[in-house]
């Protein structure tokens, strides 16, 4: 997404520099530091979003779809490239605004090694959250002495598993949008306090007219899958562009 936030997936997932499958004993000393805020997301102008998050996210973020294959939903968090208006100077997330699951999951990530295999826990070893010696740094260990997962690791695995399930549901929704040709390239012309406009491009929205023109059978399928609710939430979220402007220019 431009203004200029990337809508296409990079070689590595956003934020991740060194995603690594956790193994014992290789990572027996690894731990998770407490008190690390959201500075890692400070330059994210848009964030991946799951379908189940639309209802929470639409109050704060315009929800758009990427232009690449797969049409991933994104929560727009800034008006300028490299800007996240929801992360403050203290690296805290804006109070009262929904924090996307993608952000809350970091530095963990679910890794599968083959079709039909379960989720295994991965970790970005480059993250500030990560301690290379949990005992030394007072961090929460991920492995017990016998190699079993600690409660911290179990919670991370559960989060990654739930995220993966919802991600699959989200992909099914987006595939249906693509199949019915409901996604169209759009641009946002955002009115600024000084009277000028900011043009934001590089994303897609659902064409409301095309949605309303769907056949009865297709609409029934969409309704049965909960997709009509998601479309309504997506359309309603476009009102959040005004909130981004107010956040970017709080005193004007």
CA distance 136 to 125: 17
Confidence (pLDDT) at 5: 36
What residues contact 113, with CB distance under 8 A and at least 6 apart?
A: 21, 120
Structure tokens at 17: 């520099």
Mean pLDDT of 154-179: 98
Q: What percent of the chain has pLDDT above 70?
A: 95
| 69-125 residue pLDDT tens | 889 999 999 999 999 999 999 999 999 999 999 999 999 999 987 767 789 999 999
As a whole number of angstroms, the longest Cα–Cα distance in the chain is 64
Confidence (pLDDT) at 252: 56
- In the predicted model, is pLDDT for residue 27 greater than 50? yes
Mean pLDDT of 197-224: 97
- In the predicted model, is pLDDT for residue 29 greater than 70? yes
- In the predicted model, is pLDDT for residue 153 greater than 60? yes
CB 198 within 8 A of CB 79: yes
Per-residue pLDDT band at 195 (split at 50, 70, 90)? confident
Confidence (pLDDT) at 192: 87
Per-residue pLDDT band at 4 (split at 50, 70, 90)? very low
- In the predicted model, is pLDDT for residue 3 greater than 70? no
Mean pLDDT of 149-159: 98
Mean pLDDT computed over every residue of the chain: 93
Per-residue pLDDT band at 19 (split at 50, 70, 90)? very high
This model's pTM is above 0.85: yes
Confidence (pLDDT) at 1: 59
């Amino acid at each position: 997404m431009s203004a200029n936030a990337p809508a296409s997936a990079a070689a590595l997932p956003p934020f991740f520099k060194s995603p690594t499958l956790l193994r014992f004993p290789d990572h027996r000393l690894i731990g998770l530091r407490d008190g690390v805020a959201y500075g890692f997301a400070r330059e994210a102008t848009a964030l991946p979003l799951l379908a189940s998050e639309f209802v929470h996210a639409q109050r704060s973020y315009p929800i758009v779809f990427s232009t690449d294959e797969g049409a991933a939903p994104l929560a727009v968090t800034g008006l300028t490239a490299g800007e996240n208006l929801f992360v403050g100077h203290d690296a805290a997330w804006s109070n009262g605004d929904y924090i996307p699951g993608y952000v809350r999951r970091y530095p963990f990530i679910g890794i599968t090694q083959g079709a039909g295999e379960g989720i295994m826990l991965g970790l970005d070893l480059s993250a500030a959250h990560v301690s290379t010696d949990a005992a030394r740094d007072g961090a929460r260990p991920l492995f017990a002495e016998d190699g079993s997962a600690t409660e911290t690791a179990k919670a991370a695995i559960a989060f990654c598993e739930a995220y993966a399930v919802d991600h699959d549901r989200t992909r099914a929704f987006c595939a249906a949008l693509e199949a019915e040709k409901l996604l169209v390239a759009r641009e946002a012309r955002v009115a600024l306090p000084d009277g000028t406009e900011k043009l934001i491009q590089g994303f897609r929205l659902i064409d409301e007219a095309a949605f309303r023109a769907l056949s009865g059978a297709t609409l029934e399928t969409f309704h049965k899958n909960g997709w009509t609710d998601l479309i309504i939430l997506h359309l309603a979220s476009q009102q959040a562009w005004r909130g981004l402007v107010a956040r970017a220019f709080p005193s004007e």
